[in-house]
Amino acid sequence: MTNGDESEEDPEKPDDGEDPPEGEVPAEDPDLAGRPDTPVPSHDELVAAMQWAFAAEEISIELLERFAVHARYILEKNREVNLTGIVAARDVAAKHYLDSWKVTRFIGFFGKSVLDLGSGAGFPGIPIALSEKEARFTLLDSTQKKVKVIEDSIALLGLKHVSAVWARGEDHLARVRHDAVLMRAVSSVRENVRTLRKVRHALKELVLWKGPSWSREVRAGEREAERLGFKLDTVFEYQLPEELGKRAILVYRAPGAQGK
DSSP secondary structure, 15-51, as one string:
---S-PPTTSPPPPPGGGG--TTPPPPPHHHHHHHHH
Rounded distance between C-alpha atoms, residue 231 and residue 218, angstroms: 11
The phi and psi torsions of 93 (rounded to 5 degrees) equal -60, -45
Residue 17's pLDDT is 36
Residue 258's pLDDT is 75
pLDDT band of 22, cuts 50, 70, 90: very low
- For residues 140 and 167, the answer to whether their CB atoms sit within 8 Å is yes
| Res 56 pLDDT > 90 | yes
pLDDT, average across residues 19-44: 59
- For residues 250 and 189, the answer to whether their CB atoms sit within 8 Å is yes
Burial profile 145-174: b = 16 or more Cβ within 10 angstroms, e = fewer: bbbbbbbebbeebebeebebbbbbbbbbbe
pLDDT band of 35, cuts 50, 70, 90: confident
- For residues 246 and 211, the answer to whether their CB atoms sit within 8 Å is yes
pLDDT, average across residues 139-166: 98
**What's the whole-number average pLDDT of the chain?**
88
**Could you give the percent of the chain with pLDDT greater than 90?**
82
Residue 32's pLDDT is 56
Contacts of 170 (CB under 8 A, 6+ apart): 195, 196, 198, 199
CB neighbourhood size of 211 (10 A): 18
Residue 187's pLDDT is 83
Rounded distance between C-alpha atoms, residue 11 and residue 245, angstroms: 17
User: Where do runs of H (alpha helix) occur along 54-162?
Assistant: 61-77, 89-91, 99-101, 125-131, 144-157
pLDDT digits (tens, 9 = 90+) for 71-109: 999 999 999 999 999 999 999 999 999 999 999 999 999
- For residues 200 and 169, the answer to whether their CB atoms sit within 8 Å is no
31-257: which CATH topology? Rossmann fold (3.40.50)
pLDDT, average across residues 120-126: 97
Rounded distance between C-alpha atoms, residue 180 and residue 245, angstroms: 26
Burial profile 79-98: b = 16 or more Cβ within 10 angstroms, e = fewer: bebbbbebbebbbbbbbbbb
pLDDT, average across residues 213-221: 94
